[in-house]
Structure 1
């Protein structure tokens, strides 16, 4: 950036490098289906013998991470180095002995930076992930990614597990942990290049590649947890291949239990004389065909040992058994007990979650149908989940004028005596063509209804007739209506679309940050506010617009790239029901 002075200088492209890694981390979280609130910082520890005036550098230098946070870092590095576990390690080759001091130095910096952040994390409700350290000129640089703890409340990781002396480790606690490790590996590799941050977009993997690497890494966790002598296998690819195979025209649905076959909690119903290897995917698929309700395949990361189940006394908190549920063609999920850990659909890994945010759905339902009760909303939520699990497409329409609409459309469907739609009844009546018509209390008035309505701008030729008829009917009616549409390809849509809820405190925090931002650090707060315009009220819009005017008026150095921001105005549909806390 022309004319921009970096006081805590490590190398010329440090800001660009940090921003690119932060964007990559956020893109990875978005691909996984998690909130994208990751933040990135760099910590530089001065190398021994350097005369640089700054013992420690932090990028960004004007961010929330003050230099005082790393006071005494160099002393901590030296103490850790002197007591490092490799000090008394002797390697059999000269090259490793030559490199050992550098390995210890890098690791000592990483450990010391992690310790320095131990007090910061709980105070700011974040979890820090420190990458491997590399030296750039006078500094040993540690890339650090911080994730809000709220993300791990939404997607709980496995509990910390003690490791037996014979085990090689316990793997990653969650897919997010594995993903951040993969991002930081990219960050470290980039530090090897000349001028890291200058051409990073050409040298680093994209988010799609990284989430697959993370899934492969995370699928080592079951093997490491259940086996004494774990041999690394590509379980992620093996499970994807098995789930993609058909057996005599049928898709594989069943359970595979990853467990030590000698575990006391395993109850075999049939044990094979010779284990079936995972490297024989068609054989594995044939075995899966034998798994029926209540019966699973007993396997570790390499072999299938037979058919069986876990006894009722098994304690899932021991993390010594994992379950792979094959739920559809090319679609499976990984569990530890009842805790869902990963979902793979057509070999694309994601975090397991409901198709829509439950809290936002209930708030939206109450907003559309004020006469409905909270219990009514919960009832519709359970119907939505049942509908999503079915193997065929279907559509439910909730209309405040359901009774009169059932009479009007009686020649285009089958009217019934109103009865509250249950999950079992839904499974029965959704098997025919047409729409199920409910009132806001969940009472069904008609089944197999053919909807009408005029085409709108929301209709699209890229979607099928079920989706477009739902859009037409909901948007052209004069009464409040809601459609839940499950297409044959398992795509789920809700019309009108559900807006997520936003945190008042987070909105206020970003506005306050933007009000004091400079031309060097306005980007994050500006981008967040730009993405959340819908939730900004009139008083906040005035504050944001004043901040925009102030930044627009600041003198700009020649060569500075400055993004102008469209002025904010309130959205006509916004009200307090979209806000939390």
Structure 2
């Protein structure tokens, strides 16, 4: 058996273009949902059984420079065969020869995927990585399996469902997991459909968004399966409709609990005599209006059966006794979140699924206050933070505008604000003044000058269409402000954001080192330059991209020059180019961003 006799052995001519399209789609999709998992795409091929080609490698991996040795890969085919022969499918009875062959082909593919994952996991180059293997497809002389690996530690930190299958049905355990599985499915389909395959889709731009949305659908359906409902396929769309449907002009808010009827942890206070389908959007929205803190709408994944609450754990109950209870929180117009056991799994805003945002840390808030306001004291920062924390407990959101020009702005905005005698706000008073629409206008020392402020500001291109009106009005106002200004946006789910979102402080020597490493990896001035490791170069390119905000004009020129030289080399080698966005200086960058 041979394994990749040369680093550039091709299973088919366009394999690198195909692999790069899968790699780019995975990076874009995981970036969009906020999952930093350092994904990497691979292709693993088995020489087809009907091919007799002396010298052709029996197993190929592309790219061949990931560090896997012949010893890591040479036992894959034998391991796959052992797994297949031991599979219980051989002992089953089938209704026809055709069905039997189809099932055995399926299990042969499954055992090969298991063998590939086991080999890559156990190899030295696979340490710290988790591998997902897609179904195989015949391309020329090889049966090719697309694969995606992720950083194991980063992936393990993502909240996930407690089970990966129910009664043999595989589940989507997290949004990131679903994206990887969906992209592998798309890649396998492309391998089957195109001759020769050059990309996972003719319209690459649509692939990440489609994969994210399908993953979110599967994740919500997986939660319904855990809750005991097998007919919950339309649940994601039901919550999309619910979050966007007003009731008598009011935006919906409240909590929906999904658990089977009769669950021992569920206390039913109002039992509906006739259950209502979750697909009845207007009825669903009307019933949501009856919810209050501690009184939730109860569904089983398909039907609404009442209102009630989740009882606290008894002393003798295991901690996982509510693993089949899920909470859906309606946050604001077009925005909702799914969680289980206090672990948020999914947030959808304006139709865009993403990972729930982590709560802002005190350290980040302190850093932002000190960088925006030169002379602010620790006591003042603590006071503003306590107000933000108090607002986060109210479950209806708030907007605090902190500016050195609060007194002047209270007068300027008087027609659209309630100007008050300057005073410090207690948590109780803050609770009262945030019950009305509008922002609270404060100076950095916590003195309030106006409440119910309707913010102005011109559109600047900043903002986020997936966020609500509160966030985007804060962005417009802050961008238009000529005085030092920081807005604290508290959403209905208790999350705290600040704007401007300042890049973290870094050491200038770390930025320079990242650039120097890229230049060294892409150097064409030394003997052996033709053997530049392109994959290692682009890994360093991705690393430098994380420092892009901090680069000076001269550093951008150096980075762009080496990237252009490497692309010329790639064209010379394989007649392909990778289009990358040139590095450009950011006008917001200044010395305050250096530690």
Q: TM-score per shorter chain, which class?
A: 0.7 to 0.9
| TM-score, reference length from structure 2 | 0.78
Name structure 1 gaps, 5 residues minimum. none
Deviation digits for residues 195-224 of structure 1, max 9, x if unmatched? 354254426652222222111111112222
C-alpha separation between the residues in 2 aligned to 1:326 and 1:564? 39
- Is the aligned partner of 1:108 residue 2:111? yes
Q: CA deviation at 1:294?
A: 1.0
Tell me if structure 1 keeps the 8 A contact 2:556–2:584: yes
Q: CA deviation at 1:534?
A: 2.7
Q: From the superposition, tell whether residues 147 and 576 of structure 1 become closer, same or farther in structure 2 (CA, over 3 Å).
A: farther
Deviation digits for residues 167-207 of structure 1, max 9, x if unmatched? 35472221211122111111111111233542544266522
1:349 counterpart (344, 347, 353): 353
- Which residue pairs with 2:93 in the alignment? 90
- Which residue pairs with 1:437 in the alignment? 442
The alignment yields a C-alpha RMSD, in angstroms, of 4.6
C-alpha separation between the residues in 2 aligned to 1:487 and 1:270? 29
- Which residue pairs with 1:236 in the alignment? 236
C-alpha separation between the residues in 2 aligned to 1:238 and 1:545? 48
The 5-angstrom pairing of residues 49-448 of structure 1 reads 50=51, 51=53, 52-119=55-122, 124-149=127-152, 151-152=154-155, 155-160=158-163, 167-169=167-169, 171-195=171-195, 197-198=197-198, 200-202=200-202, 205-227=206-228, 230-313=230-313, 317-318=320-321, 319-354=323-358, 360-369=364-373, 372=376, 377=381, 380=384, 383=387, 394=399, 396-399=401-404, 406=407, 414=419, 416-419=421-424, 422=427, 424-425=429-430, 428=433, 431=436, 436-439=441-444, 441=445, 443-447=446-450
C-alpha separation between the residues in 2 aligned to 1:242 and 1:457? 31
Q: CA deviation at 1:396?
A: 0.4
Q: From the superposition, tell whether residues 266 and 145 of structure 1 become closer, same or farther in structure 2 (CA, over 3 Å).
A: same
Deviation digits for residues 115-152 of structure 1, max 9, x if unmatched? 12323599643332222222323323221112224544
Q: From the superposition, tell whether residues 154 and 420 of structure 1 become closer, same or farther in structure 2 (CA, over 3 Å).
A: farther
Deviation digits for residues 80-118 of structure 1, max 9, x if unmatched? 122123222332133222334432332121000111232
- My pick for the range that moved more, 66-75 or 554-563, is 554-563
Q: CA deviation at 1:393?
A: 7.8
Q: From the superposition, tell whether residues 290 and 541 of structure 1 become closer, same or farther in structure 2 (CA, over 3 Å).
A: closer
Name structure 2 gaps, 5 residues minimum. 1-5, 523-531
Q: From the superposition, tell whether residues 110 and 538 of structure 1 become closer, same or farther in structure 2 (CA, over 3 Å).
A: same
Q: Counterpart of 1:250 in 2: which secondary structure? A: coil
- My pick for the range that moved more, 210-219 or 389-398, is 389-398
Tell me if structure 2 keeps the 8 A contact 1:109–1:140: no
Q: From the superposition, tell whether residues 62 and 303 of structure 1 become closer, same or farther in structure 2 (CA, over 3 Å).
A: same
Tell me if structure 2 keeps the 8 A contact 1:190–1:196: no
Q: CA deviation at 1:334?
A: 0.9
Q: From the superposition, tell whether residues 239 and 127 of structure 1 become closer, same or farther in structure 2 (CA, over 3 Å).
A: same
Q: Counterpart of 2:88 in 1: which secondary structure? A: coil
- Which residue pairs with 2:527 in the alignment? none
| TM-score, reference length from structure 1 | 0.79
- Is the aligned partner of 1:533 residue 2:548? yes
Give the count of matched residue pairs. 559
Q: From the superposition, tell whether residues 562 and 419 of structure 1 become closer, same or farther in structure 2 (CA, over 3 Å).
A: closer
Q: From the superposition, tell whether residues 238 and 514 of structure 1 become closer, same or farther in structure 2 (CA, over 3 Å).
A: farther
Deviation digits for residues 349-384 of structure 1, max 9, x if unmatched? 222115878765443333334655678656645655
C-alpha separation between the residues in 2 aligned to 1:508 and 1:218? 41
Q: From the superposition, tell whether residues 136 and 513 of structure 1 become closer, same or farther in structure 2 (CA, over 3 Å).
A: farther
Tell me if structure 2 keeps the 8 A contact 1:131–1:184: yes
Q: Counterpart of 1:87 in 2: which secondary structure? A: helix
